[in-house]
Amino acid sequence: MEKEKKKLSLASQIFIALVIAIFVGLLMQNHAEIATDYIKPFGTIFLNLIKFIVVPIVLLSIMSGIVSMKDIRKVGSIGAKTVVYYLCTTAFAIVIGLIGGNLFKGFFPVLSTSELSYEAAEATPFMDVIVNIFPSNFIAPMSSASMLQVIVMALLFGFSIILVGEKAHSVAEDVDALNLVCMKCMEMILKLSPIGVFCLLCPVVAANGAAVIGSLAMVLLVAYLCYIIHMVVVYSLCVKTVGGMSPLKFFKEQMPAMIFAFSSASSVGTLPINLKGVQKMGASKEVASFVLPLGATINMDGTAIYQGVCAIFIAACYGITLTPAQMITIVLTATLASIGTAGVPGAGMVMLAMVLTSVGLPVEGIALVAGVDRIFDMGRTVVNITGDASCAIIVSHLEEKKEAKKA
């Protein structure tokens, strides 16, 4: 009898950990340093383990995805669909962010800007961004976790294995086997996610209690409203109409990854859970292992929304009203900025500097939102990874339909 008792699923365990973390975090508000000194390090250990496994997973899963497609044209067709979907949804996201920001602008607090200072990181020139996609060394991309370079490596090796053909058969099998080993390793690490989620979130809640959120509550609320609208409207519609899946099922299965993204604020860190989740929903392994690592690197709809809302808020604090032409510039730069944003905590705020500069807004304005960036970040990461998952479902469904037609 005892043995038949069903174990709590990982998703439920993660959810319970989230609730406990919020509760304990609120209780520890007056002792935030204890949470930061003694609880956060365990969250960091967990995040380190995830980071450790993520590079081999991206490299091997993309390679094994490509090899199993056996056809370079098929990879091209999946790649094209993926990139088009990512670009369109990101542009949509930033429009939603701008509309939300403009609609609620009247409710935003007007904070003093006279004593602001923010040291913006030096922006990388556009051509350098392109050049930096291509690795010049076999080891460096992996040791520095430069995901775009790792993706290029995986594409080159994957294509080469296909082109060599029969003679590389054993290499293809080894890649597949190594991929399975990494997935197993990831599964073991993921068993720790409830503890990881608790240890990551509790110090954030303790440190960013109600008092800190204070005057920015309205801006945060608008950003979260836009995050939710984007997910519920855009992703639901896409998943339903193009992906042939009920949005309810999609969000239910997506929940563990969403909770994890919320606590870790890292798309790349959430990649292993996302990979598992979409395959459970029925996305094919070959598509998921190509679309998701790419998405965790270049698709950031939540970040785009955040940049739209914050641009409007910062402009309002400086008493500037953005013109329609400036808003169009924001749509373009925020789409590019979100592609360049790394899937790690806080990266979106750095890229906000590029968006502000593009329309002549003072970069120091970032200091107005920097204090609560983590709270913006948790929400935008949820949107980022959910966008990736919706793409995997859609592309997988389209490929299935194509195969069925051929047959």
- 307 touching ligand ASP, by CB under 6 A: no
Among 343, 365, 379, 387, binds ligand ASP (CB under 6 A): 343
Tell the smallest beta-carbon distance from residue 380 to ligand ASP (Å): 5
Tell the smallest beta-carbon distance from residue 384 to ligand ASP (Å): 4
By beta-carbon proximity to ligand ASP, the closer residue of 282 and 371 is: 371
Rounded to whole angstroms, what are the CA distances from 355 to 163, 244, 303? 42, 36, 11
Among residues 276, 279, 274, which one has the least CA distance to residue 297? 274
Cβ-contact 64, 373 below 8 angstroms: no
By beta-carbon proximity to ligand ASP, the closer residue of 254 and 266 is: 266
Among 116, 162, 202, 265, binds ligand ASP (CB under 6 A): 265
The interface mask with ligand ASP, positions 367-396, x = CB under 6 A, is: ----------x--xx--x------------
- CA–CA dist 46, 182 (Å, integer): 16
By beta-carbon proximity to ligand ASP, the closer residue of 345 and 365 is: 345
- CA–CA dist 216, 11 (Å, integer): 31
Tell the smallest beta-carbon distance from residue 254 to ligand ASP (Å): 15
Only one of the segments 62-70, 91-99, 175-183, 342-350 lies at the binding site for ligand ASP (rule: CB under 6 A); that segment is 342-350
Positions in 114-153 near ligand ASP (CB under 6 A): none
- 341 touching ligand ASP, by CB under 6 A: yes
Rounded to whole angstroms, what are the CA distances from 171 to 63, 83, 262? 11, 29, 38
- CA–CA dist 51, 331 (Å, integer): 31
CA angle centred on 58, ends 57 and 64, rounded to 5°? 80
| Cα Rg of the chain, angstroms | 21
Tell the smallest beta-carbon distance from residue 176 to ligand ASP (Å): 28
Tokens matching residue 333: 């730069």
Helix (H, G, I), strand (E, B) or coil at 54: helix
Residue 317 Cα to chain centre, angstroms: 29
Among 141, 196, 348, 387, binds ligand ASP (CB under 6 A): 348
Among 14, 347, 353, 359, binds ligand ASP (CB under 6 A): 347
By beta-carbon proximity to ligand ASP, the closer residue of 90 and 284 is: 90
Instruction: Tell me which residue has its CB nearest to ligand ASP.
Output: 348
By beta-carbon proximity to ligand ASP, the closer residue of 17 and 334 is: 334
By beta-carbon proximity to ligand ASP, the closer residue of 66 and 375 is: 375
Only one of the segments 109-117, 195-203, 215-223, 265-273 lies at the binding site for ligand ASP (rule: CB under 6 A); that segment is 265-273
- 309 touching ligand ASP, by CB under 6 A: no
Only one of the segments 179-187, 202-210, 285-293, 343-351 lies at the binding site for ligand ASP (rule: CB under 6 A); that segment is 343-351
> Looking at residue 347, what DSSP letter applies?
H
Cβ-contact 118, 369 below 8 angstroms: no
Only one of the segments 2-10, 150-158, 205-213, 345-353 lies at the binding site for ligand ASP (rule: CB under 6 A); that segment is 345-353
Dihedral sign of CA atoms 305, 310, 316, 322 in order: negative
Count the Cβ atoms, other than its own, within 10 Å of residue 346: 15
Only one of the segments 5-13, 42-50, 148-156, 262-270 lies at the binding site for ligand ASP (rule: CB under 6 A); that segment is 262-270
Tell the smallest beta-carbon distance from residue 373 to ligand ASP (Å): 8
Tell the smallest beta-carbon distance from residue 74 to ligand ASP (Å): 28
CA dihedral in degrees (55, 202, 214, 101; nearest 10)? 30
- 345 touching ligand ASP, by CB under 6 A: yes
Count the Cβ atoms, other than its own, within 10 Å of residue 196: 26
Tell the smallest beta-carbon distance from residue 337 to ligand ASP (Å): 9
Helix boundaries (H) for 247-300? 247-264, 267-281, 285-298
Positions in 266-305 near ligand ASP (CB under 6 A): 266-267, 300, 303
Rounded to whole angstroms, what are the CA distances from 194 to 184, 264, 277, 319, 379? 18, 12, 16, 45, 19
Give the chain's count of helices (H) and strands (E).
20, 0
Rounded to whole angstroms, what are the CA distances from 287 to 68, 81, 257? 10, 11, 18
Only one of the segments 30-38, 137-145, 223-231, 263-271 lies at the binding site for ligand ASP (rule: CB under 6 A); that segment is 263-271
Give me the residues that bind ligand ASP (CB under 6 A), please: 265-267, 300, 303, 341, 343-348, 377, 380-381, 384
